[in-house]
Structure 1
Amino acid sequence: MAKINGNEIRPGNIIEHDGGLWLAVKCDHVKPGKGGAFAQVELRNLRTGTKLNERFRSVDKVESVKLDTKDQQFLYETDGKLVFMDTETYEQIELPGDILGERRPFLQDGMKVVMEFYEDEALSARLPPKVTCKIVETEPVVKGQTAANSFKPALLDNGLRVMVPPFIGNDELIVVNTESMEYSERA
Protein backbone atom coordinates (compact mmCIF):
# COMPACT_ATOMS: atom_id res chain seq x y z
CA MET A 1 0.00 0.00 0.00
CA ALA A 2 1.19 3.49 -0.78
CA LYS A 3 0.88 6.52 1.45
CA ILE A 4 -0.62 9.65 -0.10
CA ASN A 5 -1.13 13.16 1.24
CA GLY A 6 -4.59 14.12 2.46
CA ASN A 7 -5.03 16.68 -0.34
CA GLU A 8 -4.39 13.99 -3.02
CA ILE A 9 -7.58 12.06 -2.22
CA ARG A 10 -9.96 11.99 -5.20
CA PRO A 11 -13.46 10.52 -5.65
CA GLY A 12 -13.16 6.79 -6.34
CA ASN A 13 -9.98 6.38 -4.25
CA ILE A 14 -10.02 3.66 -1.61
CA ILE A 15 -8.16 4.45 1.60
CA GLU A 16 -7.49 2.72 4.90
CA HIS A 17 -8.67 5.00 7.73
CA ASP A 18 -9.56 4.29 11.37
CA GLY A 19 -9.10 0.55 10.87
CA GLY A 20 -11.54 0.30 7.96
CA LEU A 21 -11.59 0.45 4.17
CA TRP A 22 -13.29 3.57 2.86
CA LEU A 23 -14.30 4.70 -0.63
CA ALA A 24 -14.01 8.45 -1.29
CA VAL A 25 -17.43 9.42 -2.65
CA LYS A 26 -17.08 13.19 -2.79
CA CYS A 27 -14.11 15.48 -2.24
CA ASP A 28 -14.08 19.27 -1.81
CA HIS A 29 -10.87 21.24 -1.43
CA VAL A 30 -11.39 24.16 0.95
CA LYS A 31 -9.14 27.17 1.47
CA PRO A 32 -10.54 29.12 4.41
CA GLY A 33 -9.59 32.75 4.94
CA LYS A 34 -7.83 31.87 8.15
CA GLY A 35 -5.79 28.67 8.66
CA GLY A 36 -4.50 26.04 6.29
CA ALA A 37 -6.25 24.43 3.35
CA PHE A 38 -7.87 21.02 3.73
CA ALA A 39 -9.84 18.44 1.80
CA GLN A 40 -13.39 17.76 3.03
CA VAL A 41 -13.97 14.14 2.00
CA GLU A 42 -17.20 12.13 2.15
CA LEU A 43 -16.29 8.47 2.74
CA ARG A 44 -18.35 5.25 2.54
CA ASN A 45 -17.22 2.14 4.40
CA LEU A 46 -16.83 -0.76 1.96
CA ARG A 47 -17.69 -3.38 4.59
CA THR A 48 -20.61 -1.81 6.45
CA GLY A 49 -21.86 0.89 4.07
CA THR A 50 -21.77 3.62 6.73
CA LYS A 51 -20.85 7.15 5.67
CA LEU A 52 -18.36 9.53 7.25
CA ASN A 53 -17.28 13.12 6.56
CA GLU A 54 -13.62 13.69 7.34
CA ARG A 55 -11.15 16.56 6.94
CA PHE A 56 -7.66 15.84 5.69
CA ARG A 57 -4.90 18.44 5.66
CA SER A 58 -2.05 18.23 3.15
CA VAL A 59 0.35 17.06 5.87
CA ASP A 60 -1.92 14.13 6.84
CA LYS A 61 -0.79 10.80 5.38
CA VAL A 62 -3.33 8.11 4.49
CA GLU A 63 -2.88 4.59 3.09
CA SER A 64 -4.13 4.23 -0.49
CA VAL A 65 -5.50 0.74 -1.13
CA LYS A 66 -5.61 -1.04 -4.49
CA LEU A 67 -8.30 -3.69 -4.85
CA ASP A 68 -7.78 -6.82 -6.93
CA THR A 69 -10.47 -7.63 -9.49
CA LYS A 70 -11.43 -11.11 -10.62
CA ASP A 71 -14.02 -12.36 -13.07
CA GLN A 72 -16.57 -14.57 -11.36
CA GLN A 73 -19.53 -16.54 -12.70
CA PHE A 74 -22.79 -16.74 -10.75
CA LEU A 75 -23.80 -20.37 -10.18
CA TYR A 76 -26.75 -20.49 -7.77
CA GLU A 77 -28.30 -19.17 -4.55
CA THR A 78 -28.61 -21.20 -1.37
CA ASP A 79 -29.88 -20.10 2.07
CA GLY A 80 -29.61 -16.39 1.19
CA LYS A 81 -26.02 -16.80 0.00
CA LEU A 82 -24.85 -16.34 -3.58
CA VAL A 83 -22.36 -18.88 -4.93
CA PHE A 84 -19.81 -17.64 -7.47
CA MET A 85 -17.04 -19.48 -9.30
CA ASP A 86 -13.68 -18.02 -10.30
CA THR A 87 -13.48 -18.35 -14.09
CA GLU A 88 -9.73 -19.10 -14.01
CA THR A 89 -9.22 -21.36 -10.99
CA TYR A 90 -12.77 -22.79 -10.74
CA GLU A 91 -12.79 -22.10 -6.97
CA GLN A 92 -16.24 -21.40 -5.54
CA ILE A 93 -17.03 -18.74 -2.95
CA GLU A 94 -20.21 -17.95 -1.05
CA LEU A 95 -21.12 -14.32 -0.50
CA PRO A 96 -24.06 -12.67 1.27
CA GLY A 97 -27.05 -11.94 -0.96
CA ASP A 98 -26.88 -8.21 -0.24
CA ILE A 99 -23.44 -7.74 -1.83
CA LEU A 100 -25.18 -6.45 -4.99
CA GLY A 101 -27.57 -4.15 -3.12
CA GLU A 102 -30.58 -2.95 -5.12
CA ARG A 103 -29.17 -4.44 -8.33
CA ARG A 104 -29.64 -8.00 -7.01
CA PRO A 105 -32.73 -8.75 -9.19
CA PHE A 106 -30.62 -8.30 -12.36
CA LEU A 107 -28.37 -11.24 -11.43
CA GLN A 108 -29.07 -14.18 -13.76
CA ASP A 109 -27.82 -17.79 -13.81
CA GLY A 110 -24.40 -18.08 -15.42
CA MET A 111 -23.87 -14.29 -15.49
CA LYS A 112 -20.29 -13.05 -15.33
CA VAL A 113 -19.61 -10.37 -12.71
CA VAL A 114 -16.45 -8.52 -11.68
CA MET A 115 -15.57 -8.98 -7.99
CA GLU A 116 -13.32 -6.59 -6.10
CA PHE A 117 -11.14 -8.23 -3.45
CA TYR A 118 -9.01 -6.84 -0.65
CA GLU A 119 -6.55 -9.62 0.20
CA ASP A 120 -8.97 -12.61 0.25
CA GLU A 121 -12.10 -10.68 1.23
CA ALA A 122 -14.73 -9.90 -1.44
CA LEU A 123 -15.93 -6.33 -0.96
CA SER A 124 -18.13 -5.63 -3.97
CA ALA A 125 -19.48 -7.03 -7.21
CA ARG A 126 -20.16 -5.22 -10.48
CA LEU A 127 -22.80 -6.52 -12.86
CA PRO A 128 -22.50 -6.07 -16.63
CA PRO A 129 -23.61 -2.54 -17.63
CA LYS A 130 -26.64 -3.85 -19.59
CA VAL A 131 -28.91 -6.86 -19.02
CA THR A 132 -31.68 -8.31 -21.20
CA CYS A 133 -35.03 -8.75 -19.42
CA LYS A 134 -38.51 -9.82 -20.50
CA ILE A 135 -41.62 -7.67 -20.05
CA VAL A 136 -44.22 -9.60 -18.04
CA GLU A 137 -46.93 -6.98 -17.78
CA THR A 138 -47.53 -3.54 -19.29
CA GLU A 139 -50.33 -1.48 -20.75
CA PRO A 140 -51.32 -2.41 -24.32
CA VAL A 141 -49.75 -0.66 -27.31
CA VAL A 142 -51.81 2.34 -28.41
CA LYS A 143 -51.79 2.98 -32.17
CA GLY A 144 -50.91 6.51 -33.18
CA GLN A 145 -49.24 7.36 -29.89
CA THR A 146 -45.82 8.88 -30.45
CA ALA A 147 -42.74 7.94 -28.49
CA ALA A 148 -41.79 11.54 -27.76
CA ASN A 149 -41.18 11.84 -24.01
CA SER A 150 -44.02 9.53 -23.00
CA PHE A 151 -43.35 6.39 -21.00
CA LYS A 152 -45.52 3.77 -19.34
CA PRO A 153 -44.78 1.43 -16.41
CA ALA A 154 -43.78 -2.17 -17.11
CA LEU A 155 -43.15 -5.17 -14.84
CA LEU A 156 -40.06 -7.23 -15.68
CA ASP A 157 -39.57 -10.98 -15.25
CA ASN A 158 -37.25 -10.27 -12.27
CA GLY A 159 -39.97 -8.36 -10.38
CA LEU A 160 -38.67 -4.83 -10.99
CA ARG A 161 -40.73 -2.02 -12.50
CA VAL A 162 -39.25 0.25 -15.16
CA MET A 163 -40.64 2.93 -17.43
CA VAL A 164 -40.72 1.93 -21.11
CA PRO A 165 -41.77 3.69 -24.35
CA PRO A 166 -45.39 3.21 -25.42
CA PHE A 167 -44.53 0.92 -28.38
CA ILE A 168 -43.19 -1.83 -26.06
CA GLY A 169 -45.68 -4.63 -25.40
CA ASN A 170 -46.01 -7.75 -23.24
CA ASP A 171 -43.53 -10.63 -23.68
CA GLU A 172 -40.95 -8.41 -25.44
CA LEU A 173 -37.26 -8.49 -24.57
CA ILE A 174 -35.67 -5.19 -23.60
CA VAL A 175 -32.19 -4.12 -22.52
CA VAL A 176 -32.00 -2.45 -19.09
CA ASN A 177 -29.09 -0.34 -17.85
CA THR A 178 -28.00 -1.85 -14.49
CA GLU A 179 -26.44 1.42 -13.24
CA SER A 180 -29.45 3.70 -13.72
CA MET A 181 -32.00 0.82 -13.62
CA GLU A 182 -33.75 2.31 -16.68
CA TYR A 183 -34.89 1.11 -20.10
CA SER A 184 -32.10 1.32 -22.67
CA GLU A 185 -33.32 -0.30 -25.91
CA ARG A 186 -35.16 -3.22 -27.47
CA ALA A 187 -33.25 -6.50 -27.43
Structure 2
Amino acid sequence: MIKLLRNAIVMVLLMTAITGVAYPVVVGGIAGVVFPHQARGSLVERDGKPVGSSLIGQSFTDPRYFWGRPSATTPGPYNGASSTGSNQGPTNPALADAVKQRLAALHAADPANAAPVPVDLVTASGSGLDPEISPAAAEYQVGRVARARGLDPAKVREVVAANTQGRQLGVLGEPRVDVLALNLALDGLR
Protein backbone atom coordinates (compact mmCIF):
# COMPACT_ATOMS: atom_id res chain seq x y z
CA MET A 1 0.00 0.00 0.00
CA ILE A 2 2.85 2.44 0.85
CA LYS A 3 4.46 1.71 -2.52
CA LEU A 4 1.22 2.54 -4.37
CA LEU A 5 0.78 5.75 -2.40
CA ARG A 6 4.39 6.79 -3.08
CA ASN A 7 3.98 6.06 -6.82
CA ALA A 8 0.75 8.10 -6.89
CA ILE A 9 2.39 11.08 -5.17
CA VAL A 10 5.40 10.93 -7.50
CA MET A 11 3.11 10.76 -10.53
CA VAL A 12 1.04 13.76 -9.36
CA LEU A 13 4.20 15.80 -8.78
CA LEU A 14 5.68 14.74 -12.14
CA MET A 15 2.50 15.54 -14.09
CA THR A 16 2.16 18.86 -12.25
CA ALA A 17 5.70 19.78 -13.25
CA ILE A 18 5.14 18.72 -16.87
CA THR A 19 1.64 20.08 -17.49
CA GLY A 20 1.63 22.96 -15.00
CA VAL A 21 5.14 24.33 -15.49
CA ALA A 22 7.14 22.93 -18.41
CA TYR A 23 4.37 22.85 -21.03
CA PRO A 24 3.14 26.44 -20.43
CA VAL A 25 6.72 27.76 -20.44
CA VAL A 26 7.55 25.98 -23.71
CA VAL A 27 4.29 26.97 -25.45
CA GLY A 28 4.55 30.56 -24.17
CA GLY A 29 8.16 30.74 -25.37
CA ILE A 30 7.26 29.45 -28.82
CA ALA A 31 4.29 31.82 -29.04
CA GLY A 32 6.52 34.74 -28.04
CA VAL A 33 8.89 33.94 -30.89
CA VAL A 34 6.41 32.96 -33.61
CA PHE A 35 3.55 35.36 -32.71
CA PRO A 36 5.09 38.14 -30.59
CA HIS A 37 2.26 40.67 -31.09
CA GLN A 38 -0.45 38.18 -30.15
CA ALA A 39 1.54 36.74 -27.24
CA ARG A 40 1.73 40.24 -25.72
CA GLY A 41 -2.07 40.61 -25.84
CA SER A 42 -2.40 42.19 -29.30
CA LEU A 43 -1.85 45.59 -27.70
CA VAL A 44 -2.49 48.73 -29.72
CA GLU A 45 -0.02 51.50 -28.93
CA ARG A 46 -0.11 55.24 -29.51
CA ASP A 47 3.08 57.24 -28.88
CA GLY A 48 4.69 54.18 -27.25
CA LYS A 49 1.87 53.72 -24.72
CA PRO A 50 -0.77 50.99 -24.83
CA VAL A 51 -4.25 52.36 -25.53
CA GLY A 52 -6.12 49.09 -25.91
CA SER A 53 -6.13 45.69 -27.52
CA SER A 54 -7.23 44.73 -31.01
CA LEU A 55 -9.04 41.74 -29.46
CA ILE A 56 -11.09 43.47 -26.75
CA GLY A 57 -13.52 46.33 -27.31
CA GLN A 58 -13.31 49.69 -25.60
CA SER A 59 -16.06 51.73 -24.00
CA PHE A 60 -16.59 54.94 -25.99
CA THR A 61 -19.44 57.24 -24.95
CA ASP A 62 -18.25 60.63 -26.21
CA PRO A 63 -20.23 61.72 -29.32
CA ARG A 64 -16.90 62.48 -31.06
CA TYR A 65 -16.16 58.76 -31.16
CA PHE A 66 -17.73 55.77 -32.83
CA TRP A 67 -19.38 53.53 -30.26
CA GLY A 68 -18.81 49.79 -30.24
CA ARG A 69 -21.16 46.94 -29.68
CA PRO A 70 -22.66 46.90 -26.17
CA SER A 71 -20.86 44.77 -23.62
CA ALA A 72 -22.62 42.45 -21.19
CA THR A 73 -19.58 41.95 -18.94
CA THR A 74 -19.59 42.97 -15.29
CA PRO A 75 -18.76 44.93 -13.24
CA GLY A 76 -17.82 47.21 -16.15
CA PRO A 77 -18.03 47.04 -19.94
CA TYR A 78 -15.41 45.08 -21.89
CA ASN A 79 -14.03 43.37 -18.79
CA GLY A 80 -11.77 40.65 -20.20
CA ALA A 81 -11.78 38.80 -16.87
CA SER A 82 -15.56 38.48 -17.07
CA SER A 83 -16.13 37.51 -20.69
CA THR A 84 -19.73 36.42 -20.99
CA GLY A 85 -22.94 37.16 -22.75
CA SER A 86 -26.09 38.25 -21.01
CA ASN A 87 -27.77 34.89 -21.67
CA GLN A 88 -30.98 36.79 -22.33
CA GLY A 89 -33.10 35.21 -25.03
CA PRO A 90 -35.38 37.05 -27.46
CA THR A 91 -38.43 36.55 -25.22
CA ASN A 92 -36.71 37.83 -22.08
CA PRO A 93 -38.17 41.19 -20.95
CA ALA A 94 -34.75 42.21 -19.59
CA LEU A 95 -33.29 42.02 -23.11
CA ALA A 96 -36.15 44.12 -24.49
CA ASP A 97 -35.58 46.70 -21.74
CA ALA A 98 -31.82 46.80 -22.40
CA VAL A 99 -32.42 47.27 -26.14
CA LYS A 100 -34.91 50.11 -25.44
CA GLN A 101 -32.34 51.84 -23.19
CA ARG A 102 -29.63 51.49 -25.84
CA LEU A 103 -31.98 52.81 -28.55
CA ALA A 104 -32.85 55.78 -26.34
CA ALA A 105 -29.14 56.53 -25.77
CA LEU A 106 -28.43 56.39 -29.52
CA HIS A 107 -31.40 58.66 -30.31
CA ALA A 108 -30.43 61.09 -27.54
CA ALA A 109 -26.90 61.35 -28.95
CA ASP A 110 -28.18 61.95 -32.50
CA PRO A 111 -31.86 63.02 -32.46
CA ALA A 112 -31.91 63.94 -36.16
CA ASN A 113 -30.88 60.45 -37.26
CA ALA A 114 -34.03 58.65 -38.48
CA ALA A 115 -32.19 55.69 -40.04
CA PRO A 116 -32.91 52.21 -38.73
CA VAL A 117 -30.51 51.28 -35.93
CA PRO A 118 -28.31 48.28 -36.80
CA VAL A 119 -28.85 45.39 -34.43
CA ASP A 120 -25.19 45.21 -33.38
CA LEU A 121 -25.46 48.67 -31.78
CA VAL A 122 -28.18 47.52 -29.37
CA THR A 123 -27.35 43.87 -28.62
CA ALA A 124 -24.28 42.41 -26.92
CA SER A 125 -22.35 39.50 -28.39
CA GLY A 126 -21.76 36.13 -26.80
CA SER A 127 -18.41 37.21 -25.37
CA GLY A 128 -19.36 40.79 -24.53
CA LEU A 129 -15.92 41.88 -25.76
CA ASP A 130 -16.35 42.53 -29.50
CA PRO A 131 -13.87 45.15 -30.75
CA GLU A 132 -15.65 45.51 -34.10
CA ILE A 133 -18.97 46.69 -35.50
CA SER A 134 -20.64 46.19 -38.85
CA PRO A 135 -20.14 48.76 -41.62
CA ALA A 136 -23.86 49.56 -41.24
CA ALA A 137 -23.33 50.37 -37.55
CA ALA A 138 -20.44 52.66 -38.48
CA GLU A 139 -22.51 54.35 -41.21
CA TYR A 140 -25.31 54.96 -38.71
CA GLN A 141 -22.88 56.96 -36.54
CA VAL A 142 -21.12 58.96 -39.29
CA GLY A 143 -23.37 62.03 -39.00
CA ARG A 144 -23.02 62.32 -35.23
CA VAL A 145 -19.24 61.89 -35.27
CA ALA A 146 -18.80 64.32 -38.18
CA ARG A 147 -20.86 67.03 -36.45
CA ALA A 148 -19.12 66.53 -33.10
CA ARG A 149 -15.69 66.82 -34.73
CA GLY A 150 -16.60 69.55 -37.21
CA LEU A 151 -15.69 67.32 -40.15
CA ASP A 152 -17.30 66.70 -43.50
CA PRO A 153 -19.26 63.40 -43.37
CA ALA A 154 -17.55 62.33 -46.61
CA LYS A 155 -14.15 62.59 -44.87
CA VAL A 156 -15.42 60.51 -41.94
CA ARG A 157 -16.76 57.91 -44.42
CA GLU A 158 -13.29 57.75 -46.01
CA VAL A 159 -11.76 56.96 -42.61
CA VAL A 160 -14.45 54.33 -42.00
CA ALA A 161 -13.73 52.74 -45.38
CA ALA A 162 -10.00 52.70 -44.66
CA ASN A 163 -10.67 50.86 -41.38
CA THR A 164 -13.17 48.35 -42.76
CA GLN A 165 -11.89 44.80 -43.04
CA GLY A 166 -13.40 42.38 -45.53
CA ARG A 167 -14.30 38.76 -45.02
CA GLN A 168 -11.45 36.53 -43.91
CA LEU A 169 -10.05 34.61 -46.86
CA GLY A 170 -12.77 36.29 -48.91
CA VAL A 171 -15.55 34.01 -47.62
CA LEU A 172 -15.46 33.73 -43.81
CA GLY A 173 -17.40 36.06 -41.56
CA GLU A 174 -18.76 39.46 -42.42
CA PRO A 175 -17.10 42.78 -43.20
CA ARG A 176 -16.29 44.65 -40.00
CA VAL A 177 -14.89 47.90 -38.65
CA ASP A 178 -12.37 47.94 -35.78
CA VAL A 179 -13.75 50.66 -33.49
CA LEU A 180 -10.50 51.42 -31.66
CA ALA A 181 -8.49 51.70 -34.89
CA LEU A 182 -11.20 53.88 -36.42
CA ASN A 183 -11.30 56.25 -33.43
CA LEU A 184 -7.50 56.47 -33.33
CA ALA A 185 -7.46 57.28 -37.05
CA LEU A 186 -10.01 60.04 -36.48
CA ASP A 187 -7.92 61.43 -33.60
CA GLY A 188 -4.95 61.47 -35.98
CA LEU A 189 -6.70 63.73 -38.50
CA ARG A 190 -5.48 67.31 -38.64
Same fold (TM > 0.5): no
Per the normalisation by structure 2, the TM-score is 0.23
- Higher strand proportion: 1
Which of 1 and 2 has higher RCO (CA within 8 Å, sep 6+)?
2
Per the normalisation by structure 1, the TM-score is 0.24
- Higher helix proportion: 2
